[in-house]
Amino acid sequence: ARVEARGTPSADQGSKNQWSSMFVFGDGFVDNGNLPKTDTWRQWSYPYGSYLNSRGSATPVPTGRLSNYWIQSDFIARILGLSEAPPSYRLTPHLSCDPSGMTFAFGGAGVYEVPDKKVPTLATQVNAFTRLLNAGVISKQQLQSSVALVSISGSDYMTGANVENAFLSSFDDIDSYIGNVTTEIAKNVGKLHRLGVRKVLVNNMHPIGCTPLRTSSNNYTTCNLLANYAATVHNINIEHLMGNKNNAHILDLYTAFTDIVNHAPGEGSEQSNNFKRKLTPCCEASTELGYCGQVSPSGERLYDLCKNPDKKFYWDESYPTTAGWEAVTEALEEPLREFLDRDYVP
């Protein structure tokens, strides 16, 4: 499949520095089409990547995004002055790179392999980027105005992650395991810098205990404290490992998400008021073992869809709606722009 090339941003957009190229690594928060179009992956089926609201008249066209339309990387790209996230690696013509960059992220990816998902790890994605750079497909000149986005959002902490590869026998030793995950993230950020990427944005861990996957057991009323503890430990480690890197910036998803879905009464962000039943997904499976987008052999929908996803923060059991991502990005934008405006430190 061929992808249209996009132009670089004009001088009055985004940062005072010209960041006209973006390279994206990680998981489903930023994957815009790398997962294959098979029955195994739902992001290529209605209502993913296409369902704006119940009144939409356009013919649905799924785009491979794990949301109802745009995702985090699209909104970050807009801040840089791009029209949307750069094209996916899988859908890009062989030996070419769009002027806007490339997305290497795969939904479900983590630092370690997840056997039941079989998607490239973060290191594998960075290695693919390295091969294109060494082959001259991605030019050194393009890297001079490049920003990378790295998103690792919790696959390593889900049941089924390959703990054996983490040199631990179980998840009981949670602090050590998280330490290994965050060290690997930092190692890949360092590699991107050494390869010539000028600025790297790194997601910290969102409050994974507040995802509908974790809140469904109590009727979507309260967040899971143990899961949020794991996210907090992860974020302390990331802060420590990234603190001495001049050209890296942590995108504080934990605070942005919490201020919308899990704040104290009378507190929270202004955007929080835009969402109803904040721990409940817009697209919910009809059965306990089902999933959003599932249909029966006869074509019957086995999921329920909310009428207006703009009023829901979560799209499905794990991923935000486009409205949710827009609210999160608004909270991240000011410190992000300040970081992008700082001069590059060799």
Of the segments 3-17, 113-127, 183-197, which one has the largest average pLDDT value? 183-197
CATH number for position 97: 3.40.50
Give Cβ neighbours of residue 218 (< 8 Å, ≥ 6 apart). Answer: none
Q: Is 249 domain-assigned?
A: yes
Cα radius of gyration (the chain) = 19
Give the structural domain span for 40: 21-341
pTM (two decimals)? 0.91
Q: Is 260 domain-assigned?
A: yes
| pLDDT score for 268 | 86
Q: Is 37 domain-assigned?
A: yes
Checking if the pLDDT of 10 tops 80, the result is no
Q: Is 283 domain-assigned?
A: yes
Report the distance separating Cα 248 and Cα 43, nearest Å.
30
Taking each helix axis from N to C end, the angle separating 174-195 and 122-134, rounded to the nearest 10 degrees, works out to 10
In this structure, are residues 24 and 149 in contact, taking their beta carbons and an 8 Å threshold? yes
How far, in whole angstroms, is CA 46 from its chain's centroid? 20
Report the distance separating Cα 81 and Cα 130, nearest Å.
25
Query: What domain count does the chain have?
Result: 1
In order, the DSSP letters of 281-327 are BSEEESSTT--TT-B-TT--B-EEE-S-GGG-SBSSSS-B-HHHHHH
Q: 344 in helix, strand or coil?
A: coil
Checking if the pLDDT of 146 tops 80, the result is yes
Averaged confidence pLDDT in the chain: 87
Checking if the pLDDT of 160 tops 90, the result is no
Q: Is 1 domain-assigned?
A: no
Q: Is 278 domain-assigned?
A: yes
What is the tens place of the pLDDT at every residue in 237-263?
999 999 878 899 999 999 999 999 999
Report the distance separating Cα 27 and Cα 34, nearest Å.
10
In this structure, are residues 99 and 7 in contact, taking their beta carbons and an 8 Å threshold? yes
Q: How many CA atoms lie within 13 A of 268 on its CB side?
A: 19
What is the tens place of the pLDDT at every residue in 284-335?
999 888 899 999 999 899 999 999 999 999 999 999 999 999 999 999 999 9
Give Cβ neighbours of residue 131 (< 8 Å, ≥ 6 apart). Answer: none
Q: Is 202 domain-assigned?
A: yes
In this structure, are residues 169 and 163 in contact, taking their beta carbons and an 8 Å threshold? yes
Q: Is 4 domain-assigned?
A: no
Strands of the chain (E only): list them: 21-26, 101-103, 146-151, 199-203, 248-251, 283-285, 303-305
**Is the bond preceding 86 in cis, omega lying within 30 degrees of 0?**
no
Report the distance separating Cα 329 and Cα 67, nearest Å.
15
In order, the DSSP letters of 136-185 are TSS-HHHHTTEEEEEE--SGGGSTT--GGGGT-SSTTSHHHHHHHHHHHH
